Amino acid sequence: MSVQVSNKLTSHSSSSFWRITAFSRLIRDPLGLLGLVLVSLLLIGALFANHLTPYSPKALDVKNRLAAPSMSHLLGTDQLGRDTLTRVLHGGRVALQVAAWSISIALVVGLVLGMLAGYGPRWLDNCLLLVFDAVRSFPTIIFALALITLTGPSLKMVITVIIVTSIPVYARIVRTQTMALKEQEFVLAARSLGTSWFRILRVHFLPNVVGPLFILASMDIPVVVTIESGLSFLGMGVRPPTASWGATLADGYAYIRVTPWLVVAGGVPLILTTLGFTFMGEALRDILDPRLRRGL
Amino acid sequence: MLIYTLKRLGLTVAIVAAAMSILFLMIHFVPGDAVTLALGPRATEDMREAYRIKMGLDRPIHVQYIMFFANVLRGDIGQDVFSNQPVTTIISHHLPHTVVLVIVSISWSAFLGIFLGCFSAVHRGSLIDRFTGVVTVSAIAIPSFVVSLYSLLIFAVLLRVLPAIGAGEPGDLIDQAKHLVLPAFALGLGWVGYIARLVRASMLEIMGENYIRSARSYGLMEYTVIYSYALKIAVLPTVALLGVGVGNMLSGALFAELVFARPGIGKLIYEMVMARNFPVVQGAVLITTLMFVVSALISDLINAYLDPRVRSSL
Amino acid sequence: MDPVLSIRNLSLDFATPEGPVHALRKVNFDVPRNHIVGIVGESGSGKSTVISAAMRLLANNAVIRSGEVMFNGRDILCLSPQELRALRGEQISMVFQDPMTSQIPVHTIGKQMTDIQYRRSTTSMGDKRRLAIDMLRRVGISDPEERLTQYPHQFSGGMRQRISIAMALLMNPQLLIADEPTTALDVTMEAQIIHLLRELKEDFEGSILFVSHNLGLIAELCDYVVVMYAGQVIEKGSVEDLFYRASHPYTQALLECDPARIDHVTPTLPTISGDVPDLHIIPNGCVFAPRCPKAMDKCWTQDAGFSAISMQHTASCHLLGYG
Amino acid sequence: MQFRCNTLQVVTFLAMAELLEVDNLRMRFRTGVGFGARFLSQEDDWIDAVLDVSFKMTTGQTIALVGESGSGKTTLGRTIIGLLQPQEGSIKFQGTELVGLGDRDYKPYRRNIGMMFQDPVASLSPRRSVRAQILEPFQVHKYKEQNMDMEVKRLMSVVGLPERFEGRFPHELSGGQARRVGVARALALSPKIIIADEPTAGLDVSVQGEVLNLMRGLQSQFSISYLVITHNLPVVRHTSDRIAIMYLGRFVEQGSTQSIFNSPAHPYTQALLGAVPKPDPKQRRKIISIEGEVPSLRLRPDGCDFHPRCKYAQARCRSEPPGETKIGSEHTVRCHFPISG
């Protein structure tokens, strides 16, 4: 018994040791540190959006419309006089919400389908692959537009579209990894013991597949944020008056010859977010799994 | 190569069929009434009934499914609700603008991307390599529609050096080219990053391969080793990626066309979505999907042809 | 006559996150002209590192601490990249372990073989092809004319190793380095390649530096043998010296362990107990002391240095110091 | 109930049935060329990786399957352990037919046959500790949880692994240590047979002896039978009782180790023995015993499989495949003109 305890202790301490070195290596990499800072700022901004500015994102102030940045409105106001900084902070909230929901759902479904395709019988693999490839062959935004034409725009539809179009990407990555693992001797060893396919997938495949997948998924956050703001830019995402970076950019586009500030205020946080997540994701990937290649 | 080509063709047909099926299912099972969508809420019940019969919507679903395929095979992908023109006609007016934009964008980004990727792989770890690394990652991370907006803001609104709106005068090639610069820049920028990084990564991987070590052990010129041997292998995955790139660019083109008011297929789709003209939207989705699948097919075949391991097989 | 290759006092570290690994320490040996020298050792002995250093094909994290690699009187470690390139292929050439990955997959054998001859600027393309064909025929490839238009993947492992040898010998080098050239091959093919190497050595009047862990192959092919353990040379001499008069306890143990050398069928095979030392820390005394059955007190504290047993035969062991 | 009956039958059969009896086994594969190629090429898309293989194994015996790459020795091992379903033939364990059993019926027999895979490290699940690897067989076969700690410790001490290795992961082990974990896992359910695929591949000479001695010790302790798949003839000579030489999926010769080494009857066996270099500079070979390479299974020659490389081939060898001929007690050869020693 005592041996077991001490074992757990050693294995636990070794894994947390590993996490500490990974973190310290992340902050020692300048770009990784920059990414971490940007992502933290975004998270803080989104979490405390209600408290960071005195304004409400929906409060109109028509007298002060399209104001340039000033001390009272740090990023100016939009065509309805709403405080742009407040709307940007709340827009970040929407973006993160969409990313969190859609990626986590797509990840789970993609993981299951990918492992089934990779480990299951050939016909199942072929069927799933065909569906994956068919879904992937729709240009994402155009597919989203067609779907939203039918249902009408909403945040839920944005999430649905992202889930549907990301599942094949994750599933294909998991499938490739599963196929590679399938031929490894440790899987043959497990099968020769009479291990059930479910146990093989759960005990032997999952831990090997999940790690790289998480890194890839974290690098997908910018893509998802881009799609959300892109659809909102087209008026196909969140409904007004909810704040979104895309909506701010759309307003800015409409008034681009009047004031550049709206376009700047909508675009800069979007760029910083995508850069932040990308830098952090790349640094993490290089630290944790340098051989990982993005399977486009 | 013959077998590979046939297999790849068969797969393409299967993918297109599957994609069409998904589209069909989506139209019929997603909540929302196609008739109301097509005619608007003010249409009378008679008009609705007439439309249903005209479109075959009164028939059983499997008949509709077969009709859908049969019509597409005949080249009939529906009619514009308002003008009653065939959708194909409308699309054919807009398509060339998009095709030109996508081809120009992918070309310049492939050209620059391969050069940058190769350059930073050869000078691995140097300052230039690190700088290129940051620039390329940033190029990937920044959404193309934000690039469109910002380049519009900077070059067309603030500096006024390039035209902002439209595709240029028909027949005036120089004017058309000028109108192409900003959209093609916005669309291609991210892909410069993608391609550069892919080429750099595969170059580095290949430079560590045993065959490069043996080539060096024979005392070959570094030029031969890098450009005739390593780069030739490193561009193979890039070629395969370009097909996917075209597909992704079709999405990006929608924003670029919208921002720069370029009358391509993306702008058409957006306008038709806004006008709730579903047959045109559906037709455009089909056409763009087909373009995606075909470009992936072409790039795969080129890739296979460049790789003697595939070319020399049956 | 001076040796074609002479490695003098070579010490080399690999930088790793856990600190430097002292992969080679004071390695000394010569490759005489027109002879075959074998380096034998187990995994981690540094035998592959020595030849990578000799070809200057080291990994990026390798740091040369001291020493020289003299080839025809010039130190390879001091050559400029241009001088090095002029040497490689033309005077020193190498055959690698894995034939399946040693040729460029996207060019024909013919193109690769004419590329190697780029320095023969006065030779016409047709002559270069003819030279390539002759060389392929020489290494036992049938229909060489036709084979020139084929790609590496169209050959089997044994054929590809023959082609590698042909490519290495194309410019008539004075020294051929072969790094475990038969490890990836089946035993019947191994015998053919070894036979081929011996024949070629007679034809080309060059030297071969042959690296292997297989004592059978060393005995079969080599004139001189260098035994390495944990990054050091521990014994060297003629092949007869090593196989009949092994003086270092490690060499003796290695010979004892080889099942092919045990005449009577035995249920229990001899082994060397213990593990190869961690090369992050250089031991004070003999590297083999922790596993040596004859280790004495001073083996743990003092380096033995080399003792000559005969003209060419030396070994590094305290036991020899006292004759 | 039925299962219990079966066990009883097995027990009564024990006295008369062989431990393992393989008869006329054939394992075919469809080659990867796929759908399109079948119409466009004339190549036969079925290949026989194992063909006409028959042998028997008794308790406590070590049989070595010797062959070059492509000889089908690994496929044969994987067929016997039930990873592949053969097209023809039978595999009987203590009289019970294993071919054609469903997964559920097969499972009770799996604990009787253990397997050690070729690559010591890669055959261990990369993210599981040594302890979890050794426990795996018990968990799969639903053994009760009690005393599992004891069991793991016992197995580790049997294979000579110190207890501190329990929490280590495969990448933290050396080849020899990983090999011991593999042995412990194969041994866990007290099997009667262990199939060992290249047990010494990738190990240094000084370490391979340790692994072989360990296997030998376990054999005398637990009366295990080994089926050793290998290409290493010098090792086989010391460790096995019987040898089967495989070429293109067939047993070309099988017999006791002594008779195979002393009087090889098949030209291929002779060539194989002749190809092993002698670690003795005085015994250098002047001629090569065999030319050419093992052909692809897809291009199996007519007649005798070996005739294109055979020094003694005659007209009959080119047309008529030889059957298995008995040339001594327990010594058979598949050759029209066996070499008489």
* Whether residue C149 sits in one domain with residue C79: no
* Whether residue C71 sits in one domain with residue C59: yes
Average pLDDT over residues D128-151: 86
The answer to whether position C133 is within a domain reads yes
- A8-36 pLDDT, tens per residue? 333 333 444 455 666 777 777 888 888 88
Residue D123 confidence (pLDDT): 92
- Domain D14-112+227-334 CATH class label: alpha beta
What is the span of the domain harbouring residue A130? 39-56+66-292
* pLDDT band, very low/low/confident/very high, at A168 (cuts 50, 70, 90): very high
Q: In what order do the strands lie in the sheet with D88-93?
A: D46-57, D20-30, D88-93, D96-97
The answer to whether position C100 is within a domain reads no
Mean pLDDT of chain B: 84
- A60-92 pLDDT, tens per residue? 777 776 677 777 767 777 777 677 788 888 888
10 Å Cβ neighbour count for D286? Answer: 5
ipTM of the complex: 0.83
- Pairing verdict, β D20-30 and D88-93: antiparallel
Handedness of CA C295, C300, C301, C304 (dihedral sign): positive
Q: Can you give the CATH number for the domain in which C62 is found?
A: 3.40.50.300
Cβ neighbourhood burial of B157 (10 Å; 0-12, 13-18, 19+): middle
* Range among D2-16, D82-96, D286-300 rated most confident: D82-96
* Whether residue C166 sits in one domain with residue C132: yes
What is the span of the domain harbouring residue C238? 3-91+173-315
CB pairs under 8 A between B and C: 81
Chains that touch D (3 or more CB pairs under 8 A): A, B, C
The answer to whether position A9 is within a domain reads no
Residue D12 confidence (pLDDT): 44
The residues in D 195-254 lying below 8 A from B, measured between CB atoms, are none
Both structure tokens of C219 = 């005995």
* Whether residue C221 sits in one domain with residue C310: yes
Chains that touch A (3 or more CB pairs under 8 A): B, D
The answer to whether position C99 is within a domain reads no
Residue A11 confidence (pLDDT): 35
* Whether residue C148 sits in one domain with residue C115: yes
* pLDDT band, very low/low/confident/very high, at B59 (cuts 50, 70, 90): confident
Tokens 């031969």 map to which residue? Answer: B224
Q: Taking the complete model, does pTM exceed 0.90, yes or no?
A: no
- What's the CA gap between C96 and C183, in Å, rounded? 10
From B221, which residue of chain C is nearest by alpha-carbon distance?
C85
* Whether residue C197 sits in one domain with residue C159: no
From B4, which residue of chain D is nearest by alpha-carbon distance?
D36
Residue A33 confidence (pLDDT): 87
What is the three-state SS of chain A?
A: CHHHHHHHHHHHHHHHHHHHHHHHHHHHCHHHHHHHHHHHHHHHHHHCHHHHCCCCCCCCCHHHCCCCCCCCCCCCECCCCCEHHHHHHHHHHHHHHHHHHHHHHHHHHHHHHHHHHHHCCHHHHHHHHHHHHHHHCCCHHHHHHHHHHHHCCCHHHHHHHHHHHHHHHHHHHHHHHHHHHHCCHHHHHHHHCCCCHHHHHHHHHHHHHHHHHHHHHHHHHHHHHHHHHHHHHCCCCCCCCCCCHHHHHHHHHHCCCCCCHHHHHHHHHHHHHHHHHHHHHHHHHHHHCCCCCCCC
Determine which helix (DSSP H) or strand (DSSP E) holds D62, and give its type and residue range.
strand D62-66
- A171-188 pLDDT, tens per residue? 988 998 898 888 889 999
Residue D124 confidence (pLDDT): 93
Query: Which segment of A249-253, C101-105, C190-194, D165-169 scores lowest on mean pLDDT?
Result: A249-253
* Whether residue C288 sits in one domain with residue C222: yes
A129 to chain B, minimum CA–CA distance in Å?
9
* Whether residue C50 sits in one domain with residue C148: no
Instruction: With CB atoms and an 8 Å threshold, state whether B146 touches A270.
Output: yes
Instruction: With CB atoms and an 8 Å threshold, state whether D35 touches B314.
Output: no
- B256-305 pLDDT, tens per residue? 898 888 888 988 988 888 887 777 888 888 888 988 899 889 988 988 88
Interface probe, candidates B165, B191, B273, chain A, greatest A C-beta count within 10 A? B273
Residue D59 confidence (pLDDT): 92
Instruction: With CB atoms and an 8 Å threshold, state whether A142 touches B278.
Output: no
The answer to whether position A29 is within a domain reads no
Domain boundaries, chain D: 14-112+227-334
Residue D145 confidence (pLDDT): 66
A75 against A163, higher pLDDT: A163
Mean pLDDT of chain C: 90
Residue A54 confidence (pLDDT): 73
Residue B84 confidence (pLDDT): 77
Cβ of A281 under 8 Å from any chain B Cβ?
Answer: no
- What's the CA gap between B224 and B247, in Å, rounded? 34
Query: Does position D40 have pLDDT exceeding 90, yes or no?
Result: no
Four-point Cα dihedral A136, A137, A142, A148, nearest 10? -50
Residue A20 confidence (pLDDT): 60
Cβ of B153 under 8 Å from any chain A Cβ?
Answer: yes
- B152-193 pLDDT, tens per residue? 888 877 787 777 777 777 777 788 888 888 889 999 998 999
Residue D217 confidence (pLDDT): 92
Residue A89 confidence (pLDDT): 84
Structural domain ending residue among the three candidates C134, C152, C172? C172
The answer to whether position C120 is within a domain reads yes
Cβ of B22 under 8 Å from any chain A Cβ?
Answer: yes
Total domains in chain C come to 2
- B62-119 pLDDT, tens per residue? 888 888 888 888 877 777 777 778 888 888 888 888 999 999 999 999 999 999 999 9
* Whether residue C219 sits in one domain with residue C82: yes
* Whether residue C53 sits in one domain with residue C23: yes
C75 to chain B, minimum CA–CA distance in Å?
17
* Whether residue C294 sits in one domain with residue C163: no
The amino acid sitting at A252 is G
Question: For D26, what's the count of Cα atoms within 13 Å in the CB-facing half-sphere?
Answer: 10
Q: Can you give the CATH number for the domain in which A136 is found?
A: 1.10.3720.10
